[in-house]
Structure 1
Amino acid sequence: MNDYIKELERLIGQLTTAEQQDVVEYYREYLMDAGLETYQQAVDELGTPRSLARKILADYSIRVSEQNNQESQQASRSTVQATKSNVRTVWLIVLALLSTPVTIPILIVVAALLFAMVAVLGSLVVAAFAVFLSVIAIGVAGCVAGLFVIWQMPWTGLFYLGMGLFALGASLIAWLILKWIGSKVVWGLSWLAQEIYRRFIPRSRAERGRKL
């Protein structure tokens, strides 16, 4: 049992010290109360330490992601932080699903759907980014042309300068819109991954009884 707990503690090193202690104490007490003394008995009851650790990390990441999303909506935390948290959550959920053989066929189907979705979104992002760069180039060219011409033909120079500034302003607005859309797409993927995780990941009696 001690070997199992030590290996589990090593694998959940990404958690804070307090969280690690909470997890270790819970599962140590659970194994002791259940009279499971050997490593194999612990594996039969809880699964391998790696599989259990990945589910624990995914659970904590989901909780942090939910907190970050709520704080982001309340404007107390940046959307960048929430997006990073969502990306990390998706990754940990994928690892947890891969560590459970029962969920691998489901994961393959979901991965195919996600790949198709990401491919479509990726092509749209590339196209939008190309347009974004083109608008910036037009804006810079307009400003430069306006500054050169304004001394000889003031009205023409002001026209080019105005068009250039308008293009740069439009590109800034477009960047903010793309950034917002990107954060929502990542949030959507995180939500989908969490729903799949909650619905299909098998839980032992010990995991069902533990509260974060």
Structure 2
Amino acid sequence: MIKEYLDNVRSYLKDLPTDEREELLQFYEEQMLDAGYSIQEIEEKYGTPKQFARSLKIEYFIENDEVADDMVPRSTRTKNRMNLVWLVILGLFASPILIPVAIGLIGILIAAVIGFLGILFGIYVGIIGVLAGGLIAFVNGVILLWQSVATGIFYIGAGLLLTGAVIFFAPIVWRITRWLFEMLVTFIKWIGNRYLIKNNVKGAR
């Protein structure tokens, strides 16, 4: 019965690396056998195979995100994070007990995303505006040189100053963007740890 249960769990873990998936399932198989769990006790503790697999995948993606380094391709890490977000949302709505919590957390998450995008939009629009202003000032300065050297030099200097400011602050803005995104991911991981892993929440499906 335990083997059949874990075979069903395995069918929901196909997107995990084979070696890590099998090592994980072997660990739980030994744990269940040592404890002498019946299938009913297993489902009471871990949930249905689908629920247990979801919990394992959330834990896997959280742990791998925390140990990810420069050797992990950015595209792979981004894909894993998107999977994590989706799994957390599904896990919250899968349990009738957690639906009120899910609605509240999703509301907070949506507000955070909107705020995040709003801040980014404002910052990058400002950067584009300053850069455009700098280029326009520089071009006008070159044109005005033929009419007034002092005025032309002033506009050229202003244009270079604005352009230089954009170049100087661009890396800082990028770091702020990454920091805001990391805060968003950290919030998602907190939800997963708090409601879907540590308490081993079981849904209705």
Fold in common (TM above 0.5):
yes
Change (3 A) 1:82 1:8: closer
- How many angstroms does 1:22 deviate by? 0.9
Question: Which residue of structure 2 lines up, in the alignment, with residue 11 of structure 1?
Answer: 12
SS in 1 for 2:174: helix
Residues 52-201 of structure 1 aligned to structure 2 (within 5 Å): 52-68=52-68, 84=78, 89-150=84-145, 153-201=148-196
| Aligned counterparts of 1:151 and 1:28: Cα–Cα separation in 2 | 84
| Amino acid corresponding to residue 27 of structure 1 in structure 2 | Y
- How many angstroms does 1:23 deviate by? 1.4
- How many angstroms does 1:138 deviate by? 0.9
Q: Give the CA RMSD over aligned residues.
A: 3.4
| Aligned counterparts of 2:11 and 2:151: Cα–Cα separation in 1 | 69
Question: Which residue of structure 2 lines up, in the alignment, with residue 207 of structure 1?
Answer: none
Could you tell which deviates more after superposition, 105-114 or 1-10?
1-10
- How many angstroms does 1:161 deviate by? 2.5
SS in 1 for 2:115: helix
Change (3 A) 1:83 1:26: closer
Change (3 A) 1:95 1:168: farther
Taking structure 1 as the reference length, the TM-score comes to 0.71
| Aligned counterparts of 1:27 and 1:59: Cα–Cα separation in 2 | 14
Q: Which has the higher contact order (CA 8 A, sep 6+)?
A: 2
Q: Give ranges in structure 2 of 5+ residues lacking alignment.
A: none
| Aligned counterparts of 2:179 and 2:76: Cα–Cα separation in 1 | 10
Change (3 A) 1:5 1:77: closer
Taking structure 2 as the reference length, the TM-score comes to 0.73
| Aligned counterparts of 1:197 and 1:125: Cα–Cα separation in 2 | 26
| Aligned counterparts of 1:83 and 1:16: Cα–Cα separation in 2 | 14
| Aligned counterparts of 1:3 and 1:149: Cα–Cα separation in 2 | 82
Q: Give ranges in structure 1 of 5+ residues lacking alignment.
A: 205-212
- How many angstroms does 1:150 deviate by? 4.3
Deviations along 1:74-112, one digit per CA (max 9) or x if unpaired, are: xx689x789846665444433333334432221111122
